[in-house]
Amino acid sequence: MNDLVSVLLLSLVAMANPTLLAAVTAMLLLPSPKRPMLGYLFGAYTTSIAAGLLIVFSLHGSSAENTSKHKISPIEDIVIGILNLAIAYAVATGRDARLQRRHQRRKETKRAAATTKTPWSQRMLAQGSARLTLVVGALLSFPGLAYLDALDHIVKLNAGTVPSILLVLYFCVMQQILLELPLLGYTFAPERTRATVTGFKAWLTRSGRRAAVIGLAAIGLLLLGRGLYGLTS
């Protein structure tokens, strides 16, 4: 049961994906975002589901599940949790302002070359082609740390073929929720969704720093607590 809870918690961590957030933001700015978003989602599903199933059924029953591996995961949780708390403290106290000023100066210096320095993924997304966004989604959706950790817990559950497949599918759906929610909105309530997106951007402008502090602190405490529990269990 502890492994199942870990999978559920890790799916919440995977939702906070800055790369996906940047991609979604870029696509929302397009005149017709629905098709590019569908392309990205299909590409992301293809890579994440295929890789997840391959890893789960390759590791199932292998000797790699030993005591040392069981102890590494809690330590990683503690380290990442502490880093999140440290970042939350820096943002809350304004200690990140110096880095922001330095970044702003560097950004202004390189503004003339901004077009050539734009990440390839953002340039491809900006073209609005569903085929291109499918490729971008596939390339940017290989398993990350949270997903790999969750796959390890799925293997340890030893729940059978069908439950394991369902857990992999669940995780892949949850980690793309930043894309799925606006896509559903644009499908069933386009006008209301556009108004909501506009309001959300305005809210981020007003309260983005406070939201970041709360989110980072919550994730940090969650990972720290889970890591400490894993070391003592």
CA distances from 230 to 10, 66, 76, 223 (A): 14, 15, 11, 10
Residue 70 reports pLDDT greater than 60: no
Amino acid code (one letter) for 157? L
Window from 22-26, 92-96, 146-150, 187-191 with minimum mean pLDDT? 92-96
**Overall average pLDDT of the 64-86 stretch:** 63
pLDDT of residue 213: 79
* Alpha-carbon torsion (27, 28, 34, 37), positive or negative: positive
| Per-residue model confidence (pLDDT) at position 195 | 84
State the burial class of residue 164 (Cβ atoms within 10 Å of its Cβ: 0-12, 13-18, 19+): buried
DSSP for 51-98?
HHHHHHHHHTT-TT--HHHHHHHHHHHHHHHHHHHHHHHHHHTTTTHH
- What distance in Å separates the CA atoms of residue 233 and residue 124, rounded to the nearest whole number? 47
Least confident of 57-71, 132-146, 218-232: 57-71
pLDDT 10s digits, 105-124: 665 665 555 544 556 555 55
Contact 37, 186 (CB under 8 A): yes
pLDDT confidence bin for 63, thresholds 50/70/90: very low
pLDDT of residue 64: 43
pLDDT score, position 20: 81
Collapsing DSSP to helix, strand or coil, 78 comes out as: helix
Question: Encoding tokens for residue 233?
Answer: 């269990």
pLDDT at 68 over 60: no
pLDDT of residue 52: 92
User: What sign does the dihedral 161-167-168-173 (CA atoms) show?
Assistant: positive
- The tens digit of pLDDT for each residue in 30-48 reads 777 888 889 999 999 999 9
Residues 152-162: what's their mean pLDDT?
A: 88
Report residue 81 CA to chain centroid gap. Answer: 16
Q: Do 186 and 34 contact (CB within 8 A), yes or no?
A: yes
For 5, the token pair is: 């809870």
Contact 170, 79 (CB under 8 A): no
Q: Which range has the worst mean pLDDT, 56-70, 77-91, 124-138, 196-210?
A: 56-70
| Angle at alpha carbon of residue 29, lines to 98 and 193, rounded to 5° | 110
Q: What is the DSSP letter of 92?
A: H
Q: What is the rounded average pLDDT of the residues 127-133? A: 69
φ/ψ (deg, to 5) at 54 = -60, -45
pTM more than 0.85: no
* Domain coordinates in residue numbering, the chain: 2-232
